[in-house]
Structure 1
Amino acid sequence: MATLNQIGLDKNASKALSEKLNQLLANYQIFYMNARGFHWNIKGEKFFELHLKFEELYNDSLIKIDEIAERILTLGFTPLHTYGDYMGLSKIKEAKNISNGVEAVAQILKGYEVLLPLERELLEMSGDSNDEGTNALMSDYIREQEKLIWMYTAYLNG
Protein backbone atom coordinates (compact mmCIF):
# COMPACT_ATOMS: atom_id res chain seq x y z
CA MET A 1 0.00 0.00 0.00
CA ALA A 2 1.31 3.43 -0.94
CA THR A 3 2.24 5.90 1.75
CA LEU A 4 0.66 9.28 1.10
CA ASN A 5 2.08 12.73 1.74
CA GLN A 6 0.21 15.64 3.36
CA ILE A 7 -1.75 16.39 0.16
CA GLY A 8 -2.76 12.79 -0.49
CA LEU A 9 -0.20 11.89 -3.16
CA ASP A 10 2.11 8.89 -3.14
CA LYS A 11 5.31 9.84 -1.29
CA ASN A 12 7.61 7.97 -3.67
CA ALA A 13 6.05 9.58 -6.74
CA SER A 14 6.19 12.96 -5.01
CA LYS A 15 9.89 12.44 -4.26
CA ALA A 16 10.61 11.70 -7.93
CA LEU A 17 8.57 14.75 -8.97
CA SER A 18 10.41 16.93 -6.45
CA GLU A 19 13.78 15.78 -7.75
CA LYS A 20 12.76 16.62 -11.32
CA LEU A 21 11.27 19.94 -10.14
CA ASN A 22 14.62 20.74 -8.51
CA GLN A 23 16.29 20.15 -11.87
CA LEU A 24 13.81 22.56 -13.43
CA LEU A 25 14.42 25.05 -10.60
CA ALA A 26 18.19 24.92 -11.14
CA ASN A 27 17.79 25.52 -14.87
CA TYR A 28 15.35 28.38 -14.30
CA GLN A 29 17.78 30.08 -11.91
CA ILE A 30 20.50 30.14 -14.57
CA PHE A 31 17.97 31.10 -17.27
CA TYR A 32 16.87 33.98 -14.99
CA MET A 33 20.43 35.20 -14.46
CA ASN A 34 21.15 35.02 -18.19
CA ALA A 35 18.03 37.03 -19.03
CA ARG A 36 18.97 39.55 -16.34
CA GLY A 37 22.44 39.90 -17.83
CA PHE A 38 21.03 40.34 -21.33
CA HIS A 39 18.72 43.07 -19.99
CA TRP A 40 21.61 44.92 -18.41
CA ASN A 41 24.14 44.52 -21.21
CA ILE A 42 22.13 44.69 -24.43
CA LYS A 43 23.36 47.25 -26.97
CA GLY A 44 22.59 48.25 -30.50
CA GLU A 45 19.76 49.03 -32.84
CA LYS A 46 17.08 46.97 -31.03
CA PHE A 47 18.15 48.09 -27.54
CA PHE A 48 14.78 49.47 -26.39
CA GLU A 49 12.77 46.53 -27.70
CA LEU A 50 15.10 43.85 -26.34
CA HIS A 51 15.79 45.63 -23.04
CA LEU A 52 12.04 45.48 -22.28
CA LYS A 53 11.64 41.92 -23.59
CA PHE A 54 14.48 40.63 -21.40
CA GLU A 55 12.95 42.39 -18.40
CA GLU A 56 9.66 40.60 -19.09
CA LEU A 57 11.57 37.31 -19.31
CA TYR A 58 13.45 37.65 -16.06
CA ASN A 59 10.35 38.86 -14.19
CA ASP A 60 8.38 35.89 -15.52
CA SER A 61 11.25 33.55 -14.60
CA LEU A 62 11.32 34.92 -11.07
CA ILE A 63 7.63 34.09 -10.66
CA LYS A 64 8.17 30.59 -12.04
CA ILE A 65 11.16 30.03 -9.75
CA ASP A 66 8.99 30.83 -6.75
CA GLU A 67 6.14 28.63 -8.01
CA ILE A 68 8.47 25.69 -8.61
CA ALA A 69 10.10 26.00 -5.18
CA GLU A 70 6.72 26.27 -3.47
CA ARG A 71 5.46 23.22 -5.38
CA ILE A 72 8.45 21.22 -4.13
CA LEU A 73 7.58 22.31 -0.58
CA THR A 74 3.92 21.43 -1.13
CA LEU A 75 4.97 17.93 -2.17
CA GLY A 76 6.84 17.64 1.14
CA PHE A 77 10.43 18.17 0.03
CA THR A 78 13.09 20.90 0.05
CA PRO A 79 13.88 23.10 -2.94
CA LEU A 80 17.51 23.66 -3.81
CA HIS A 81 18.59 27.11 -2.74
CA THR A 82 22.29 27.60 -3.41
CA TYR A 83 23.96 28.67 -6.62
CA GLY A 84 26.44 25.83 -6.18
CA ASP A 85 23.54 23.37 -6.37
CA TYR A 86 22.07 25.19 -9.35
CA MET A 87 25.35 25.26 -11.26
CA GLY A 88 25.95 21.58 -10.59
CA LEU A 89 22.52 20.53 -11.80
CA SER A 90 21.64 23.00 -14.56
CA LYS A 91 22.03 22.03 -18.20
CA ILE A 92 21.61 25.70 -19.12
CA LYS A 93 25.04 27.30 -19.04
CA GLU A 94 25.92 30.79 -17.92
CA ALA A 95 25.94 33.36 -20.70
CA LYS A 96 28.55 35.96 -19.86
CA ASN A 97 29.05 39.44 -21.32
CA ILE A 98 26.59 39.10 -24.19
CA SER A 99 25.47 42.46 -25.57
CA ASN A 100 24.50 41.45 -29.12
CA GLY A 101 20.74 41.05 -29.51
CA VAL A 102 20.85 38.16 -31.96
CA GLU A 103 23.27 36.24 -29.76
CA ALA A 104 21.18 36.93 -26.65
CA VAL A 105 17.94 35.76 -28.30
CA ALA A 106 19.73 32.64 -29.54
CA GLN A 107 20.81 31.95 -25.95
CA ILE A 108 17.20 32.34 -24.77
CA LEU A 109 16.13 29.77 -27.36
CA LYS A 110 18.91 27.42 -26.18
CA GLY A 111 17.50 27.78 -22.67
CA TYR A 112 14.06 26.77 -23.86
CA GLU A 113 15.63 23.70 -25.50
CA VAL A 114 16.41 22.58 -21.94
CA LEU A 115 13.33 23.87 -20.11
CA LEU A 116 10.64 22.60 -22.45
CA PRO A 117 11.66 18.90 -22.42
CA LEU A 118 11.97 19.00 -18.62
CA GLU A 119 8.50 20.51 -18.35
CA ARG A 120 7.07 17.90 -20.72
CA GLU A 121 8.67 15.15 -18.64
CA LEU A 122 7.17 16.66 -15.50
CA LEU A 123 3.79 16.94 -17.20
CA GLU A 124 3.85 13.21 -17.94
CA MET A 125 5.14 12.28 -14.48
CA SER A 126 2.56 14.45 -12.74
CA GLY A 127 -0.23 13.03 -14.89
CA ASP A 128 0.81 9.49 -13.99
CA SER A 129 0.86 10.47 -10.29
CA ASN A 130 -2.51 12.29 -10.26
CA ASP A 131 -0.61 15.43 -9.23
CA GLU A 132 -2.90 18.06 -10.71
CA GLY A 133 -1.01 20.95 -9.10
CA THR A 134 2.29 20.17 -10.83
CA ASN A 135 0.44 19.14 -13.99
CA ALA A 136 -1.36 22.50 -14.22
CA LEU A 137 1.89 24.45 -13.73
CA MET A 138 3.71 22.51 -16.42
CA SER A 139 0.80 22.76 -18.84
CA ASP A 140 0.76 26.55 -18.42
CA TYR A 141 4.55 26.85 -18.78
CA ILE A 142 4.60 24.70 -21.93
CA ARG A 143 1.82 26.68 -23.60
CA GLU A 144 3.51 30.01 -22.85
CA GLN A 145 6.94 28.87 -23.94
CA GLU A 146 5.84 27.31 -27.20
CA LYS A 147 4.50 30.71 -28.22
CA LEU A 148 7.68 32.48 -27.06
CA ILE A 149 9.82 30.04 -29.01
CA TRP A 150 7.82 30.81 -32.13
CA MET A 151 8.19 34.56 -31.52
CA TYR A 152 11.92 34.51 -30.77
CA THR A 153 12.55 32.24 -33.76
CA ALA A 154 10.61 34.67 -35.95
CA TYR A 155 12.76 37.52 -34.59
CA LEU A 156 15.96 35.67 -35.52
CA ASN A 157 14.66 34.72 -38.96
CA GLY A 158 13.24 38.16 -39.74
Structure 2
Amino acid sequence: MKLNTLGLPLKETEVLVTELNILLANFQVYYQNLRGLHWNIRGKRFFDLHVKFEELYNDSQLKIDLIAERVLTLGGTPLHTFEDYVKNSKLPIGKNIHNDEEAIVLIVNSLSHLLKIERVILSQSSEINDEGTNSMMSDFISEQEKTIWMMSAWLEQEI
Protein backbone atom coordinates (compact mmCIF):
# COMPACT_ATOMS: atom_id res chain seq x y z
CA MET A 1 0.00 0.00 0.00
CA LYS A 2 1.42 3.38 -1.04
CA LEU A 3 1.35 6.09 1.63
CA ASN A 4 1.60 9.85 1.27
CA THR A 5 4.00 11.94 3.36
CA LEU A 6 1.37 12.11 6.13
CA GLY A 7 1.40 8.31 6.37
CA LEU A 8 -2.07 7.97 4.89
CA PRO A 9 -2.95 5.58 2.06
CA LEU A 10 -2.92 7.43 -1.28
CA LYS A 11 -6.01 5.93 -2.88
CA GLU A 12 -8.25 6.37 0.17
CA THR A 13 -6.93 9.88 0.73
CA GLU A 14 -7.90 10.83 -2.84
CA VAL A 15 -11.45 9.62 -2.16
CA LEU A 16 -11.47 11.66 1.06
CA VAL A 17 -10.31 14.77 -0.82
CA THR A 18 -13.22 14.35 -3.24
CA GLU A 19 -15.69 14.15 -0.33
CA LEU A 20 -14.11 17.17 1.36
CA ASN A 21 -14.50 19.12 -1.88
CA ILE A 22 -18.18 18.16 -2.00
CA LEU A 23 -18.51 19.41 1.58
CA LEU A 24 -16.69 22.59 0.58
CA ALA A 25 -19.11 23.21 -2.30
CA ASN A 26 -22.13 22.65 -0.06
CA PHE A 27 -20.70 24.95 2.60
CA GLN A 28 -20.18 27.69 0.02
CA VAL A 29 -23.85 27.51 -0.99
CA TYR A 30 -24.87 27.44 2.70
CA TYR A 31 -22.68 30.49 3.34
CA GLN A 32 -24.22 32.41 0.45
CA ASN A 33 -27.72 31.45 1.60
CA LEU A 34 -26.89 32.84 5.05
CA ARG A 35 -25.68 36.10 3.52
CA GLY A 36 -28.95 36.40 1.63
CA LEU A 37 -30.97 35.67 4.78
CA HIS A 38 -28.96 38.28 6.67
CA TRP A 39 -29.61 40.90 4.01
CA ASN A 40 -33.25 40.10 3.29
CA ILE A 41 -34.86 39.15 6.61
CA ARG A 42 -37.84 41.30 7.63
CA GLY A 43 -40.36 41.45 10.40
CA LYS A 44 -40.53 41.78 14.15
CA ARG A 45 -37.61 39.40 14.71
CA PHE A 46 -35.34 41.30 12.32
CA PHE A 47 -32.84 42.55 14.89
CA ASP A 48 -32.29 39.16 16.53
CA LEU A 49 -32.15 37.18 13.29
CA HIS A 50 -30.02 39.70 11.41
CA VAL A 51 -27.32 39.30 14.07
CA LYS A 52 -27.75 35.50 14.28
CA PHE A 53 -27.40 35.06 10.52
CA GLU A 54 -24.21 37.15 10.57
CA GLU A 55 -22.84 34.93 13.36
CA LEU A 56 -23.66 31.83 11.32
CA TYR A 57 -22.13 33.09 8.07
CA ASN A 58 -18.96 34.19 9.86
CA ASP A 59 -18.69 30.71 11.37
CA SER A 60 -19.30 29.15 7.96
CA GLN A 61 -16.60 31.28 6.41
CA LEU A 62 -14.10 29.93 8.96
CA LYS A 63 -15.21 26.36 8.29
CA ILE A 64 -14.88 26.87 4.53
CA ASP A 65 -11.28 27.91 5.02
CA LEU A 66 -10.58 24.92 7.29
CA ILE A 67 -12.05 22.51 4.73
CA ALA A 68 -10.05 24.03 1.85
CA GLU A 69 -6.85 23.91 3.91
CA ARG A 70 -7.52 20.27 4.83
CA VAL A 71 -7.91 19.44 1.12
CA LEU A 72 -4.53 21.09 0.51
CA THR A 73 -2.95 19.30 3.49
CA LEU A 74 -4.11 15.97 2.05
CA GLY A 75 -2.52 16.83 -1.32
CA GLY A 76 -5.63 17.91 -3.21
CA THR A 77 -6.83 21.11 -4.80
CA PRO A 78 -9.87 22.79 -3.24
CA LEU A 79 -12.78 23.69 -5.47
CA HIS A 80 -12.84 27.44 -5.89
CA THR A 81 -15.29 28.50 -8.60
CA PHE A 82 -18.99 29.20 -8.36
CA GLU A 83 -19.46 26.76 -11.24
CA ASP A 84 -17.85 24.00 -9.14
CA TYR A 85 -19.89 24.92 -6.07
CA VAL A 86 -23.24 24.80 -7.86
CA LYS A 87 -22.31 21.60 -9.71
CA ASN A 88 -21.27 19.78 -6.52
CA SER A 89 -23.83 21.10 -4.04
CA LYS A 90 -27.17 19.52 -3.26
CA LEU A 91 -28.35 22.32 -0.96
CA PRO A 92 -31.42 24.29 -1.98
CA ILE A 93 -30.80 27.88 -2.96
CA GLY A 94 -32.52 30.28 -0.59
CA LYS A 95 -33.53 33.08 -2.91
CA ASN A 96 -35.35 36.17 -1.65
CA ILE A 97 -36.37 34.70 1.70
CA HIS A 98 -37.83 37.40 3.95
CA ASN A 99 -39.88 35.29 6.38
CA ASP A 100 -38.29 34.28 9.67
CA GLU A 101 -39.66 30.73 9.84
CA GLU A 102 -38.83 30.01 6.20
CA ALA A 103 -35.28 31.20 6.87
CA ILE A 104 -34.82 28.99 9.93
CA VAL A 105 -36.26 25.96 8.12
CA LEU A 106 -33.73 26.52 5.32
CA ILE A 107 -30.91 26.61 7.88
CA VAL A 108 -32.06 23.44 9.64
CA ASN A 109 -32.46 21.57 6.34
CA SER A 110 -29.07 22.78 5.11
CA LEU A 111 -27.30 21.78 8.32
CA SER A 112 -28.98 18.36 8.22
CA HIS A 113 -27.60 17.86 4.71
CA LEU A 114 -24.12 19.03 5.75
CA LEU A 115 -24.19 16.57 8.66
CA LYS A 116 -24.83 13.69 6.28
CA ILE A 117 -21.77 14.59 4.22
CA GLU A 118 -19.66 15.10 7.35
CA ARG A 119 -20.64 11.70 8.75
CA VAL A 120 -19.54 10.03 5.50
CA ILE A 121 -16.21 11.87 5.72
CA LEU A 122 -15.84 10.97 9.40
CA SER A 123 -16.38 7.30 8.60
CA GLN A 124 -13.91 7.36 5.72
CA SER A 125 -11.27 9.24 7.66
CA SER A 126 -11.67 6.91 10.64
CA GLU A 127 -11.01 3.90 8.42
CA ILE A 128 -7.58 5.26 7.42
CA ASN A 129 -6.69 6.76 10.83
CA ASP A 130 -6.77 10.33 9.51
CA GLU A 131 -7.01 12.05 12.87
CA GLY A 132 -6.78 15.56 11.38
CA THR A 133 -9.92 15.11 9.31
CA ASN A 134 -11.62 13.12 12.12
CA SER A 135 -11.08 15.93 14.59
CA MET A 136 -12.37 18.59 12.21
CA MET A 137 -15.48 16.59 11.31
CA SER A 138 -16.21 15.79 14.97
CA ASP A 139 -16.02 19.48 15.84
CA PHE A 140 -18.27 20.46 12.93
CA ILE A 141 -20.81 17.75 13.74
CA SER A 142 -21.16 18.61 17.43
CA GLU A 143 -21.54 22.35 16.70
CA GLN A 144 -24.08 21.80 13.94
CA GLU A 145 -26.13 19.33 15.97
CA LYS A 146 -26.41 21.99 18.68
CA THR A 147 -27.43 24.63 16.14
CA ILE A 148 -30.11 22.31 14.74
CA TRP A 149 -31.41 21.70 18.25
CA MET A 150 -31.55 25.44 18.96
CA MET A 151 -33.19 26.29 15.63
CA SER A 152 -35.70 23.47 16.07
CA ALA A 153 -36.53 24.80 19.55
CA TRP A 154 -37.04 28.25 18.01
CA LEU A 155 -39.41 26.69 15.47
CA GLU A 156 -41.10 24.78 18.32
CA GLN A 157 -40.43 21.51 16.48
CA GLU A 158 -39.02 18.21 17.61
CA ILE A 159 -35.65 17.20 16.22
Question: Taking structure 2 as the reference length, what is the TM-score of the superposition?
Answer: 0.97
Q: Is the 8 A contact 1:6 1:76 kept in 2?
A: no
Q: Deviations over 1:81-107 (max 9, x none)?
A: 001011011010211100111100000
Structure 1 unmatched ranges of 5 or more = none
Give the Cα separation in 1 of the matches to 2:32 and 2:5.
33
Percent identity at matched positions?
A: 55
Q: CA deviation at 1:8?
A: 1.5
Q: Which residue of 2 aligns with 1:144?
A: 143
Could you say which residue in structure 1 is the equivalent of 2:111?
112
Count of paired positions:
157
Secondary structure of the equivalent of 2:115? helix
- Measured in 2, the distance between the counterparts of 1:135 and 1:76 equals 17
Equivalent runs, 1:97-136 vs 2, <5 Å: 97-136=96-135
Q: Please list, as runs of the form range in 1=range in 2, the aligned pairs for 1:1-158 lying within 5 A after superposition.
A: 2-157=1-156
- How far is 1:71 from its partner? 0.2
1: distance between equivalents of 2:63 and 2:115? 13
Moved over 4 A (4+): none
- What's the CA shift string for 1:25-60, capped at 9, x where partnerless? 000000000001000111101101100110011000
* 1:13 CA displacement: 1.0
CA RMSD of aligned residues (A): 0.9
Post-superposition shift, 1:6?
Answer: 2.2
> Secondary structure in 2 aligned to 1:31?
helix
Structure 1 letter corresponding to 2:100 = G
Q: Equivalents in 1 of 2:5, 2:58: separation in Å?
A: 31
Deviation at 1:4, TM superposition (A): 1.3
The amino acid that maps onto 1:24 is L
